[in-house]
Structure 1
Amino acid sequence: MSLVAETTHHLQPLITDLGLILMTAGVAVLLFKKIKQPLVLGYLIAGFLAGSNFDFFPSITDHKSVEVWAEIGVIFLLFSLGLEFSFKKLMKVGGTASITAITQIICMVFIGFSVGHWMGWNTMDSIFLGATLSISSTTIILRAFDELGVKGKKFAGIVFGALIVEDIVAIIMMVLLSTIAVSQQFSGMELIQSVFKLVFFLTLWFVGGIFFVPTLLKKAKNLLTDEMLLIISIALCLLMVILAANVGFSPALGAFIMGSIIAETTQAEKIEHLIKPVKDLFGAVFFVSVGMLINIDTLVEYAVPVVIITLVTIFGKAFSSTIGALLSGQPLKQSVQTGMSLAQIGEFSFIIATLGMTLGVISNFLYPIVVAVSAITTFTTPFLIKYSTTFSDKLERTLPVKWVKAIDKYSTNTEAIKSVSDWQMVLRANMTQIVIHSVIIVAVILLSSEYILPLVESSPFGNAIAALITLFILSPFFWALSLRRVAAKQVQVLMKERKYRGPIIMIVLLRMLLTLFYLGFMLNTFFSPEIALIALVVAVAVYFIFPKKLNGQYHKIENHFISNLNAREIVKAGRSRQDLTPWDGHMTTFEIAKESNIAGKTLAELQLREQLGVNIAFIRRGEVMINIPGRNERLFPGDEICVIGTDNQVQEFKVYLDKHEIEIPEKVAETDIVLKQIELKNEEFIGKSIRESQIREKTHGLVVGIERNRKRILNPESHLILEQFDILWVVGSKKLLANFFKD
């Protein structure tokens, strides 16, 4: 009984506090949903009401337990963010978004640090202030874009790309800030070591994760229920959290990395759907815990700094982002729209501030100031986005004509030189090869010396056995680092020019020397220097005797990795080649018999779509092909009609035609008309109705289905508004569809 009583005593405050948090969060959700304000802001206010700084409402009793819940919330927030992130997205972001984001981050870190010093704050407070002001809020921007209906505009694409870059920079920043906070000094060498350490483990975890995790999920696919998939994904997340913590990184970094690894698997969408309730639950707890730190007395005392930092955030971020977009070659209007969209701080700022408090290196007043600035900029963001076009037009009229022309000329010239040269491709391919294989080789050597060598070193030839095992594992990677040809076509072209021959030969020699260095490092780990030198000569000799076997072994490993890396796209592409898979739809051709009594009637009179749900893809009339016929098109005896619909719909149509004496042709001639699945990304028609998009007029095509947020709409009405990432099923000319739906 005493054990039960003791357990109840410990559980009571934990359960009571969690219940209070969730109750206030629930009320905040309902209220802020009703008044159409961001839920994050509601959670912050709910946290303030449930905190000990507000005396007119029940307060939490155990702050430590809430901190634990908040840390778990950060882990799941970052894991979910990783699921949406994907490193491949970063590769596709492009120079415009990267330059915009990096320019803004550098400027705001410097401005924030300077403002902190100007207000008399200590160095660590100033550094963390600059870091928190440099990262914009994805949640607030997405919500504002949805409300204002601007997601389809070109500047929105730049903003989304910039947010992706900011997310990964924020992760790097957290690692660097942790290093600075722990060492309490600004040693350049310390920071360089931290960056190299981060790159090493990011590369190792990502390469290893992509090699093993998709394979695990693929092999167990038939065994995994939703419950098991949720448990396994959370287990993988927490495993990476443990690995990150053990090597000295933030647990949140591990969660983010595992999320980005799972984002490349075919199960990514399902896992993201399953993890969403968990993320929402603990995310709410995190933001409520942030609100608990708001102290009205502190805010009143630091009201002037709040106002100053708010103005610095709005004007500083808007200006620096605009400059970044201009530097990347964007026109003035789009640059201003981009800058004014990014003028706020949000969830990552809270996480960075939480890091500072956890490490005990920032003052107590900084956290509530950051929360207050975030709350104010949450309200100002929609207005800034809404009036950004008006402001850019006014700015264009205000600026000297010479400046406007210079910006336009620079933008045009920048667009013209964005192509990547052969030399850049060769350099990038070789650097990728060197970095990835260096990380793999060093990691395997260190792991082997740590785990394999202790198992066998007691035997007479223990070191030799450990060295042979390690060499066997690494031999394909040694071959790839030294001899594998990369960017072969570009190298062949460049070798014809004398100025490139020397650099290319130097790169090849560098790769060979690195291989010898790593081979020597491996042998020196297991043997004395003298024996290692002899073993090196023998190893190199053996290495050159079996190049074909090493080549074959490496390509097996590489193909497995690439297959896992591209599995999601391969499945997606395969789905797009299928015939309206979600509805089991397909195209079937019939011939109108001479005796059919529907001959001579228009499609409007027959109302086939309204009655049976089928669409007419084309009518073949002798040598004449009528693609996507209009409502007033008549059917004549001998016409071949191509009908699109599900199995049941086509069967019903067949029964319908059987009553009117139809004939089915034995052979159907080839046609250019196809049923194509397309993910809507082109900003030209996002936000327009199907009719306004002129898909029918420009492609002679017909939208027969839409999938939106996993909900499927068959035969959508022409007034339906198209949204970004809608999946359209369009029947029409293969050539015209391909040209029209180019990204």
Structure 2
Amino acid sequence: MHSAVFLIEFGAIILGLGLLGRFAARFQFSPIPLYLLAGLAFGEGGLLPLGTSEEFVAIGAEIGVILLLLMLGLEYTASDLVTNLKTQYPAGLVDMTLNAVPGALMALLMGWGPVAAVVLAGVTWISSSGVIAKVMGDLGRLGNRETPVILSVLVLEDLAMAVYLPIITALLAGAGLAAGSVTLAIALGVAGLVLFAAVRYGRLISRFVSSDDPEKLLLVVLGLTLLVAGVAQQLQVSAAVGAFLVGIALSEEVAEGAHNLLSPLRDLFAAVFFVFFGLHTDPSSIPSVLFPAMVLAVVTAGTKIATGYWAAKRAGVSAKGRWRAGGTLVARGEFSIVIAGLAVSAGIEPSLGPLATAYVLILVVLGPLTARFTEPVATRVIRYRQRRAEAGAGAVGEADQAAGIGTSTGTGTGTDTSTGTVPAPRADQDETDRLGRR
């Protein structure tokens, strides 16, 4: 009877997630907010709390996080990461400063303490690679000139996670300075070792894992990932970081084959993860943090747009491309929930989970909209300001003419004594004019 109830509950969850995903695809937006809402509906304080299947959902959620990070690692080669670190690190520093600081300040203003401030800084800092990749594909922008800039910012955020997650793990565990330093040193050492091995021996590793049989390739890659993730967690590094490093170590045909095989599993268990996070958030606790979540969403949407604009300008992208890059980076999603989930599990601040849920719900819906409309809205605003400036300059000229100012008066020597010349346009106005004509 117990197993029958489990099968009914878990089957209903998977079926419901599939229907929600189809609904989201029909209207071309991310299913993540729907998955979170489903978890809220069937979790603590929800409409119909789950019973026997909750423990299995928790295990599935942990696998979901591991697969999310593994698939992100498969997207990049070690040489790509090294190149991005060398050329785009200023963009990463600007990204961290502009987007992590608002989250930390909000936590301190709410009196949550320094540990919660570090956690919320990560929630507001990291963009959603999954949502952004889908949005760029849907909008047909994968070949745009600003796309490498966007991907560079995302890669740097992924690399930062390899350092950030061990720090968070140590802080949440209450480790002291010495223990936290050892954990960070281990994380950096392992990450550096894996990157070195991937650059120097990537082909040998891929050849060892490679197989013409999809079944054997799937089993070897998945087994290796779970094994490394477990060892990493045992060393207090982070299972997610271990999975990310495994993805980096695999390259070429192996990475492509593993990506194709693991994508359906990633989608399944990632959906379970979002549901699991919602299950542990009481819906009645969200209204009390909705206003600070909205304020934080508005502020950090603006800082992400500024980040993308600055990074694209530094790369020599045109003004329209700068606005597109900024608007595309707004979405938050899986990483923010992963970070908040660690804090919720540690029980450091009861309101942090609801705030992160509301924050992600707002930006995962707003993100695709800013990606689509930031550039045309910015163009219209600039054109409107340009017309206002031109109209104002014309009105001043007419008034000067009526008053007899700015006309040439003969002095008998043929000298022009005009005093009402129109000043030359400023350099920033030239930039505005160029954008307005595009």
TM over 0.5: yes
| Counterpart selection for 1:89 from 80, 87, 102 | 80
Partner residue, 2:332: 345
Distance change in 2, residues 1:154/1:97 (3 Å): farther
Residues 331 and 407 of structure 1 are in contact (CA less than 8 Å); yes or no, is this contact kept in structure 2? no
Task: For 2:379 and 2:45, locate their aligned partners in 1 and report how far apart those are by CA, in whole Å.
Answer: 46
Distance change in 2, residues 1:136/1:403 (3 Å): farther
Partner residue, 2:428: 404
Partner residue, 1:282: 269
> Percent identity, aligned pairs only?
23
Structure 2 SS opposite 1:85: coil
Residues 122 and 339 of structure 2 are in contact (CA less than 8 Å); yes or no, is this contact kept in structure 1? yes
Cα deviation per residue 1:208-240 (whole Å; 9 max; x = unaligned)? 46777753653685x752111111111211221
Partner residue, 1:312: 299
| Counterpart selection for 1:196 from 185, 194, 205 | 185
Following superposition of structure 1 onto structure 2, how do residues 37-116 of structure 1 map, counting pairs within 5 Å? 37-55=29-47, 57=48, 59-93=50-84, 97-116=88-107
Partner residue, 2:231: 243
Q: 1:293 offset after TM fit, Å?
A: 3.1
Cα deviation per residue 1:385-430 (whole Å; 9 max; x = unaligned)? 233223443566659964627989xxxxxxxxxxxxxxxxxxxxxx
How many residue pairs are counted as aligned between the two chains?
A: 394
Partner residue, 1:137: 128
Unaligned stretches of 5+ residues in structure 2: 390-424, 433-438
| Counterpart selection for 2:28 from 21, 36, 51 | 36
Superposition CA RMSD, Å: 3.1
Task: For 1:168 and 1:135, locate their aligned partners in 2 and report how far apart those are by CA, in whole Å.
Answer: 11
Q: 1:257 offset after TM fit, Å?
A: 0.9
Cα deviation per residue 1:492-531 (whole Å; 9 max; x = unaligned)? xxxxxxxxxxxxxxxxxxxxxxxxxxxxxxxxxxxxxxxx
Q: Which amino acid aligns with 2:355?
A: I
Q: 1:139 offset after TM fit, Å?
A: 2.0
Distance change in 2, residues 1:108/1:205 (3 Å): same
Distance change in 2, residues 1:216/1:311 (3 Å): closer
Q: Which amino acid aligns with 1:120?
A: G
Task: For 2:86 and 2:429, locate their aligned partners in 1 and report how far apart those are by CA, in whole Å.
Answer: 23
Distance change in 2, residues 1:391/1:102 (3 Å): farther
Structure 1 SS opposite 2:75: helix
Partner residue, 1:587: none
Q: Which amino acid aligns with 2:40?
A: F
Following superposition of structure 1 onto structure 2, how do residues 13-24 of structure 1 map, counting pairs within 5 Å? 14-24=6-16
Which structure has greater helix proportion?
Answer: 2
Partner residue, 2:360: 374
Q: 1:261 offset after TM fit, Å?
A: 0.9
Task: For 2:241 and 2:154, locate their aligned partners in 1 and report how far apart those are by CA, in whole Å.
Answer: 17
Task: For 2:252 and 2:150, locate their aligned partners in 1 and report how far apart those are by CA, in whole Å.
Answer: 26
Task: For 1:172 and 1:300, locate their aligned partners in 2 and report how far apart those are by CA, in whole Å.
Answer: 33
Partner residue, 2:393: none
TM-score by length of 2: 0.79
Query: Which structure: larger Rg?
Result: 1
Task: For 1:210 and 1:175, locate their aligned partners in 2 and report how far apart those are by CA, in whole Å.
Answer: 23
Distance change in 2, residues 1:155/1:52 (3 Å): same
Partner residue, 1:386: 372
Following superposition of structure 1 onto structure 2, how do residues 208-607 of structure 1 map, counting pairs within 5 Å? 208=197, 214-215=203-204, 218=207, 224-262=212-250, 264-326=251-313, 332-361=319-348, 363-393=349-379, 402=426, 404=428
Following superposition of structure 1 onto structure 2, how do residues 150-229 of structure 1 map, counting pairs within 5 Å? 150-183=141-174, 187=177, 193-208=182-197, 214-215=203-204, 218=207, 224-229=212-217
Task: For 2:121 and 2:430, locate their aligned partners in 1 and report how far apart those are by CA, in whole Å.
Answer: 32
Structure 1 SS opposite 2:253: coil
Which deviates the most, 233-242 or 346-355? Answer: 233-242
Task: For 1:329 and 1:97, locate their aligned partners in 2 and report how far apart those are by CA, in whole Å.
Answer: 13
Q: 1:355 offset after TM fit, Å?
A: 1.6
Task: For 2:261 and 2:238, locate their aligned partners in 1 and report how far apart those are by CA, in whole Å.
Answer: 25
Which structure has greater strand proportion?
Answer: 1
Task: For 2:339 and 2:81, locate their aligned partners in 1 and report how far apart those are by CA, in whole Å.
Answer: 22
Distance change in 2, residues 1:125/1:12 (3 Å): farther
Q: 1:282 offset after TM fit, Å?
A: 1.2
Task: For 2:89 and 2:200, locate their aligned partners in 1 and report how far apart those are by CA, in whole Å.
Answer: 28
Structure 2 SS opposite 1:289: helix
Task: For 2:353 and 2:38, locate their aligned partners in 1 and report how far apart those are by CA, in whole Å.
Answer: 17
Task: For 2:49 and 2:117, locate their aligned partners in 1 and report how far apart those are by CA, in whole Å.
Answer: 35
Residues 97 and 325 of structure 1 are in contact (CA less than 8 Å); yes or no, is this contact kept in structure 2? no
Q: 1:107 offset after TM fit, Å?
A: 2.1
Residues 21 and 47 of structure 1 are in contact (CA less than 8 Å); yes or no, is this contact kept in structure 2? no
Q: Which amino acid aligns with 2:247?
A: G
Q: 1:260 offset after TM fit, Å?
A: 1.2
Q: 1:325 offset after TM fit, Å?
A: 4.4
Distance change in 2, residues 1:27/1:212 (3 Å): same
